């Protein structure tokens, strides 16, 4: 009816409510992945109570937000995890939740399988224990595989296997595809951003330009592989990848963290991108009236990308990736497919900002195997 | 989520029968029209005109999709709207019968 581009422009001005709302239930986690986007580990004593969490779900339902992406930390660590998930789906708010799988045993798998409107994403970071455990910790891969076995035995249906693309995991695309199909699962690949603890490892772990080119071609041939729209910076290579192909931060994307702070996107947990808190005026008012969100909905300045023939495809890339590598918003994405970001990074001497909120455990955690 | 909605052919869509919004679908009004979400197949669809949103909302009150079109939409636009309805039907957002 209306050309897709003008629809995309509409999205850039924001919507009545987000499409892609992530809600991190807790900062507590029993793993300590080196690239954790939320620097999780320890529970924050200010986390929303069960009553507050339910009030938030009521508001989400009233705003007609169709589903929430629940994450953490490890959301299943919260004692009221099932209570909250059931509360949401009973109000017709779908739940897609990400887990490291360590808390999914036969019983919880059956309980998950019994719920409608629920999607589960189990995270791994390699197609074998050696590759995955380097990032997620010893024993984590086997635990995730046991979780997948339990989900399959409980006839959960097509759950998702979620993988962050690193220099190592990107070499195993076909193995991930085979693993997913062996479970009848759906594969989901997302971009490594220098957010949270990711800032420490991004430099050595982000895919090379050549790997990104191969990833792009691989994804182009597989529109059914989910990506959460995270590789749109690669669309500058040719035909656009599946998705909206824009940075949705504050326009269609949004994060509510465990203490109720609202950020423009899950990858920008930093004071600079903090829009407000749900405890004060409620989520809807933050979404509609925050100064930050309003400014993000203004047309952006294409800056250094203005003369690029691919600007319409890539729009200068990911705000979080720029911010946490010390680039300006008007700079190209650090992984610009034409190498302009690498050049900008070489010339930049600014100190990289680090996340304002860090809940990392002070000592490495040993995964208790059950 | 897919923005490249398929332009399904109108051949599978029977405008002479009764259609309605599936009970698994939620509609949310937006400035450009509405967003529709199918809770079962998890499809998110953009309805990019207010008239289409009205049509879809009121479809169930008419004996047939054609009668709804006649009542609500300018005749010159019927063909375009039939294409839209048929693609909504093929993504199971509309239920026939
Ligand atoms: S120069 Fe900017 S717009 Fe062009 S491909 Fe690189 S990041 Fe994207
Ligand atoms: S900042 Fe990056 S991760 Fe966040 S919405 Fe924009 S493109 Fe996506």
Output phi, psi for A303, to 5 deg. Answer: 50, -130
Q: Residue A287 is encoded by which pair of tokens? A: 């979404």
CA nearest ligand 2 atom 2, residue? A318
Nearest-Cα distance to chain A for B97, in Å, is 25
User: Residue B97 domain-assigned?
Assistant: no
Q: Is the CB of A332 under 6 A from ligand 1?
A: yes
pLDDT of residue B65: 95
With residue A301 as reference, give the H or E element that holds it: none
DSSP A55-109: HHHHHHHHTT--EEEEEES-GGGSTTHHHHHHHHHHTT-EEEEEE-STT--HHHH
B53 within domain boundaries: yes
**Cα A132 from chain centre:** 18
- Residue B81 within any structural domain of the chain: yes
Tokens of A104: 């999914």
Please tell me which residue of chain B has the smallest CA distance to A63: B28
- The total number of structural domains in chain B stands at 1
Interface membership of B6 toward A (CB under 8 Å): no
**Which residues of B fall within a CB distance of 8 Å from A251?**
none
Whole-angstrom distance, CA of residue A367 vs CA of residue A263: 30
pLDDT per residue over B27-64, tens digit each?
A: 999 988 999 999 988 888 989 889 999 999 999 999 99
Residue B17 lies in a domain: yes
Q: How far is the CA of A224 from the centre of ligand 1 (A)?
A: 26
- Distance in angstroms (rounded) separating the CA atoms of residues A119 and A211: 30
**How far, in Å, CA of B78 to CA of B80, rounded?**
6
pTM for the full model? 0.90
Determine the pLDDT at residue B10.
47
pLDDT in tens, chain A (370 residues): 333 456 666 677 778 999 999 999 999 999 999 999 999 999 999 999 999 999 999 999 999 999 999 998 999 999 999 999 999 999 999 999 999 999 999 999 999 999 989 999 999 999 999 999 999 999 999 999 999 999 999 999 999 999 999 999 999 999 999 999 999 999 999 999 999 999 889 999 999 999 999 999 999 999 999 999 899 999 999 999 988 888 899 999 999 999 999 999 999 999 999 999 999 889 999 999 999 999 999 887 788 898 899 998 899 999 999 999 989 889 999 999 999 999 888 877 666 676 667 898 765 555 544 4
Q: What is the pLDDT of residue A364?
A: 53
Measure B12 CA to ligand 2 centroid, in angstroms.
39
Calculate how far, in angstroms, residue B22's C-alpha sits from the geometric centre of ligand 1: 42
Residue B85 within any structural domain of the chain: yes
Identify the three-state secondary structure at position B29.
Answer: strand
Distance CA B67, CA A73 (A): 53
Q: Which ligand is nearest to the CA of A252?
A: 2
H or E element that contains A273: none
The pLDDT, as a whole number, for residue A362 is 64
| β-strand pairing of A186-191 with A253-256 | unpaired
pLDDT value for B67: 96
Average pLDDT over residues B4-10: 43
Question: Is A293 in contact with A264 (CB distance < 8 Å)?
Answer: yes
Residue B74 lies in a domain: yes
- Which residues, listed in sequence order, are joined to residue A23 by a DSSP beta bridge? A70, A256
CA atoms of A246 and A222, how far apart (whole Å) = 20
User: Which residue range forms the structural domain that includes residue B42?
Assistant: 3-92
Is residue B86, in this structure, part of any structural domain at all? yes
Distances in whole angstroms, Cα of residue A128 to Cα of each of A125, A131, A150, A223, A367: 9, 6, 18, 24, 17
Dump the DSSP string for A210-266.
HHHHHHHHHHHT-TTSB-TTTTGGGGGGSSPPSS--S--BTTTEEEE-TTSEEESST
């Amino acid at each position: 009816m209306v050309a897709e581009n003008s629809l995309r422009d509409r999205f850039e001005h924001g919507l009545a409510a987000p499409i892609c709302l992530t809600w991190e239930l807790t900062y507590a986690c029993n793993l300590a992945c080196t690239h954790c986007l939320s620097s999780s580990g320890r529970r924050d004593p200010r986390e929303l109570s069960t009553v507050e969490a339910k009030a938030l779900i009521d508001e989400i339902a009233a705003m007609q937000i169709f589903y929430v992406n629940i994450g953490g930390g490890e959301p299943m660590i919260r004692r009221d995890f099932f209570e909250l998930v059931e509360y949401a789906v009973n109000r017709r708010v779908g739940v897609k939740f990400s887990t490291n799988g360590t808390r999914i045993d036969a019983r919880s798998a059956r309980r998950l399988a019994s719920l409608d409107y629920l999607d589960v994403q189990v995270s791994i970071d390699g197609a074998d224990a050696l590759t995955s455990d380097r990032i997620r910790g010893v024993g984590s891969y086997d635990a995730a595989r046991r979780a997948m076995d339990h989900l399959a035995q409980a006839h959960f249906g097509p759950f998702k296997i979620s993988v962050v693309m690193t220099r190592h995991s990107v070499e195993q695309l076909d193995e991930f595809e085979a693993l997913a199909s062996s479970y009848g699962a759906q594969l989901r690949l997302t971009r490594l951003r220098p957010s949270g603890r990711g800032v420490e490892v991004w430099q050595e772990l982000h895919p090379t330009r050549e790997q990104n080119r191969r990833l792009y071609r691989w994804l182009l041939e597989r529109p059914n592989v989910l990506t959460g729209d995270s590789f749109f910076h690669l669309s500058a290579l040719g035909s656009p990848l599946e998705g909206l192909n824009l940075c949705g931060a504050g326009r269609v994307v949004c994060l509510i963290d465990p203490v109720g702070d609202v950020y423009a996107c899950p990858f920008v947990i930093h004071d600079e991108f903090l829009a407000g808190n749900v405890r004060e005026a409620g989520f809807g008012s933050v979404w509609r009236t925050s100064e930050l969100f309003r400014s993000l909905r203004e047309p952006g300045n294409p800056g250094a990308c203005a003369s690029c023939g691919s600007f319409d495809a890539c729009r200068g890339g990911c705000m979080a990736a720029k911010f946490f590598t010390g680039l300006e918003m008007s700079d190209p994405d650090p992984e610009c497919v034409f190498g302009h970001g690498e050049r900008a990074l070489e010339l930049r001497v600014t100190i990289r900002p680090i996340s304002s909120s860090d809940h990392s455990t002070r000592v490495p955690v040993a995964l208790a195997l059950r | 989520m897919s923005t490249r909605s398929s332009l399904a052919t109108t051949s599978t869509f029977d405008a002479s029968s009764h259609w309605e919004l599936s009970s698994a679908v939620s509609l949310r009004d937006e400035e450009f029209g509405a967003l529709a979400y199918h809770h079962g197949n998890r499809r998110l669809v953009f309805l990019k005109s207010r008239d289409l949103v009205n049509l879809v909302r009121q479809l169930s009150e008419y004996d047939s999709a054609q009668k709804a079109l006649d009542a609500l939409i300018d005749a010159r636009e019927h063909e375009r709207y039939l294409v839209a309805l048929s693609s909504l039907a093929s993504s199971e957002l509309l239920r026939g019968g």
